[in-house]
Structure 1
Amino acid sequence: MARDLYEVLGVDKTATDDEIKKAFRRKARKLHPDVNKAPDAEDQFKELNEAYDVLSDPNKRAQYDRFGTIPGAAQGSQPYVDLDDIFGGFGMGDLFSSFFGGNGGGRGQRARREGRDMGVGLRLTLEEVAAGVKKEIVYDRLAPCPECEGSGLAEGGKEVECPTCHGQGRVVTVQRTFLGDMQTATTCPECKGTGRTIDHPCPECEGQGRVPDRQRVTVEVPVGIRDGQQLRLGGFGEAGLRGAASGDLIVTCRIVPHEFFQRDGDNLHQQIKISIVQACLGAKIECEGIFEGEKVTVTIPEGCQNDQVVRTRGFGMPKFNGNGARGDMFTHVSVVVPKKLSKRERELLTKLAEEMGEEVTEQRTPFQKIKDAFN
């Protein structure tokens, strides 16, 4: 980011969000390697994309205006760490490649008009899943053109039958060979397989009715959602061609591992350590719950064994669509045997052993016995 980012986009520092978007699309169409064959076109497009990445984000833009750089950028920090995968890594550069390629369409096939579904992964903490949360996702997509409202038509424009393929969406060529005439059907290069063209296309989207854009959408994550469950946001996927239906955005929830708890369905598992006295006599241990400030009292039964599991009902995860119902908390107990004992502790345990009729091994050295005598 050695150059001024506003200069890279060709806008003033007072430019609005819409002006920044338009400037980016305008320059991207000139600099994208698919259309610009200059040796440095790829580097220029990358620089332009980086500038747009900063100036299209209100938080990043505010930091850049204040500091002249983005704090933490060198360490690769990202304000939006939720984004995991779009079309297997589909980014703005790929969106422009799709944009320049028109409507796609395989050989001899009519192009798809409806927008495709898009997928993103949303990372969540266990606390967020327990309480429910709203998350903002930022991603790139082909969005409805704001100038023509997705129609692809300029003022006074209309759709007409493609004069090249006569509405068929494909053209047939005949090649004469020594084996005879061979026919080949290919997607019409004029209408890109739609069978229709526009006499006066919108200059912003070049008649497609959609443009590469950066989308922000707030996702409301329901309480108790499971790892791998998906949320479908209708109409937030790829925009359709010239007003056709948009695809959906499919959000896959991924729950990051917790420091203390392990989730098993609606139940939570944790581990605690207790002393041999607590194991013998029983105890009440206060632990942190999954909610902020929540305290859970775990009742250790008398005679608790190492690796015993203690169940505390109603302190697990809230159930998905469970109207406030919760699972249980399972505490895995580890009995800790002290490695060192004071003289008094040793005496008490020795007496306990005698009372219980248990034999113990005297492992103290002569020097330790002399030391105890002086103490």
Structure 2
Amino acid sequence: MSQDLYETLGIPRDADGDTIKKAYRKLARQLHPDVNPDPETQERFKDVSRAYEVLSDPEKRRMYDLGGDPFNGAGGGFAGAGAGFSFTDIMDAFFGGAAGGAAGGGRGPRPRVRRGQDALIRLEVDLAEAAFGTTRELKVDTAVLCTLCQGSGAAPGSSPTTCETCHGRGETVHLQRSFLGEIRTMRPCAACRGFGTIIPEPCRECSGDGRVRSRRSLNVKIPAGVDAGTRVQLSGQGEVGPGGGPAGDLYVEIHVAEHPVFARHGADLHCQVTVPMTAAALGTSLDLPLLEADLVEEGAESDSEVETSVALDIRPGTQSGHEQVIRGLGVPALRGSGRGDIVVRVVVETPTRLDPRQEELLKELAAIRHEESPEGTVRTAPPKSVFGRFRDAFNPR
């Protein structure tokens, strides 16, 4: 081609590499055959690509500036055997990437040292432990640093060497012929797996990974107020990374065991107390055990340090289903101060079997109260809400 290559790209002869690349990007977006299929435009695109092939390569550019043939007389056309160019150049022109010119500039070798993965374990605790906090010892099976090679992956006395296939770049060039010429693509080196180095003598303990599996113990502090599903983060206690890289984090997910007395609803504790019919009618008082009683049973607290029960007064005439609230004796807040409440539901137990004397006394009481043949009280059911009517429409009886 007789036209000057600098004029083809529209750049001065002292243009630097960035200027050459920007000029090629601009022209390639305008002239690429997929954008403009006109035959003359395609020829110009070939000229632009050939100019970029020469000027982006320092050695070919030097030869061209001295008046030589940068293609060694091999024909020099865009579709000729000597007109190879990198596929990343076209992608760079259209998408603005920084893959570099035909002279190289790929992603480079990937590091052997990388951050480890996070780990998740599940821990079941009692309701009292979740409410008031505790410290538990855990056995964790994770990847730890190999003490023999200190994470390098190489046997003692040896070290990684530069890969002879990719010469440390971590990538190899693959050529493919197409209507555009020889397209060069970069792929991770198969010999070194993209690392750029090879470990000739891997460590016998970790087989070159820089880490080994091991079981270790650590103490986990469970804060007061945690609930089922809460995750406690332990920074740097997860998997050690490949090549002895920094460890990930360990997450401890809390599962709360079912309690024989209390059911937790947020910060409140719900329980049920069953009293005889006579106690509900006359009133009574009983001791309600608190969640703190579990701590005393486990030896975490002494009897003198904490109250284990509270007096619950059942007022005369208490009806079955009545709820009483004991303030401030529920679960401590996870964030902030204060505690929830204890909600006690009273269930009145009606005797199912009476001896003759008990039956006689109840009949006397009914006569005194004029309740020998009670009619009961019939009340109209409350009107259904909009949502209730909507539900019944889709659930006919």
TM-score normalised per structure 1: 0.59
Equivalent-residue separation in structure 2 for 1:214 and 1:189 (angstroms)? 34
Deviations 1:160-179 (A, max 9, x none): 44333334434444567999
Question: Residue 257 of structure 1 aligns to which amino acid in structure 2?
Answer: E
Question: Residue 318 of structure 1 aligns to which amino acid in structure 2?
Answer: P
**Does 2:355 align with 1:342?**
yes
CA pair 344-186 structure 1, distance change in 2 beyond 3 A: farther
Shift of 1:192: 3.1
Contact 1:283 1:301 in 2 (8 A): yes
| 1:48-197 matches, cutoff 5 A | 110=110, 113-174=114-175, 186-197=187-198
Equivalent-residue separation in structure 2 for 1:329 and 1:287 (angstroms)? 10
Match of 2:211 in 1: 210
Shift of 1:142: 1.9
| 1:11-30 matches, cutoff 5 A | none
Contact 2:109 2:169 in 1 (8 A): no
CA pair 299-172 structure 1, distance change in 2 beyond 3 A: farther
Match of 1:257 in 2: 258
Contact 1:227 1:253 in 2 (8 A): yes
Contact 1:306 1:333 in 2 (8 A): yes
Q: Kindly, what percent of the aligned residue pairs are identical?
A: 37
**Alignment RMSD (CA, Å):** 3.0
Deviations 1:98-136 (A, max 9, x none): xxxxxxxxxx99578211111111111212213422223
Match of 2:11 in 1: none
Contact 2:235 2:248 in 1 (8 A): yes
Structure 2 residues without counterparts, runs of 5 or longer: 1-107, 297-307, 375-397
Match of 1:296 in 2: 310
Contact 1:296 1:315 in 2 (8 A): no
Match of 1:224 in 2: 225
Shift of 1:183: 6.8
Deviations 1:41-70 (A, max 9, x none): xxxxxxxxxxxxxxxxxxxxxxxxxxxxxx
Equivalent-residue separation in structure 2 for 1:261 and 1:239 (angstroms)? 41
Equivalent-residue separation in structure 1 for 2:346 and 2:190 (angstroms)? 71
**Match of residue 367, structure 2, among 351, 354, 359:** 354
Contact 2:240 2:248 in 1 (8 A): yes
Contact 1:117 1:237 in 2 (8 A): yes
| 1:267-286 matches, cutoff 5 A | 267-286=268-287
**Match of residue 325, structure 2, among 288, 297, 311:** 311
CA pair 168-153 structure 1, distance change in 2 beyond 3 A: same
Aligned residues: 253
Equivalent-residue separation in structure 1 for 2:147 and 2:373 (angstroms)? 85
Contact 2:146 2:244 in 1 (8 A): no
Question: Residue 337 of structure 1 aligns to which amino acid in structure 2?
Answer: T
Larger Cα Rg: Structure 1 or Structure 2? 2
Shift of 1:270: 0.8
Deviations 1:309-345 (A, max 9, x none): 111122212332556x432111111111001223333
Match of 1:25 in 2: none
CA pair 279-183 structure 1, distance change in 2 beyond 3 A: farther
Equivalent-residue separation in structure 2 for 1:131 and 1:189 (angstroms)? 56
Equivalent-residue separation in structure 2 for 1:147 and 1:155 (angstroms)? 7
TM-score normalised per structure 2: 0.56
Contact 1:110 1:170 in 2 (8 A): no
Shift of 1:269: 0.6
SS at match of 2:247: coil
CA pair 147-182 structure 1, distance change in 2 beyond 3 A: same
SS at match of 1:351: helix
Question: Residue 117 of structure 1 aligns to which amino acid in structure 2?
Answer: D
Deviations 1:287-311 (A, max 9, x none): 3221225223222222211111111
Contact 2:168 2:197 in 1 (8 A): yes
Question: Residue 358 of structure 1 aligns to which amino acid in structure 2?
Answer: E
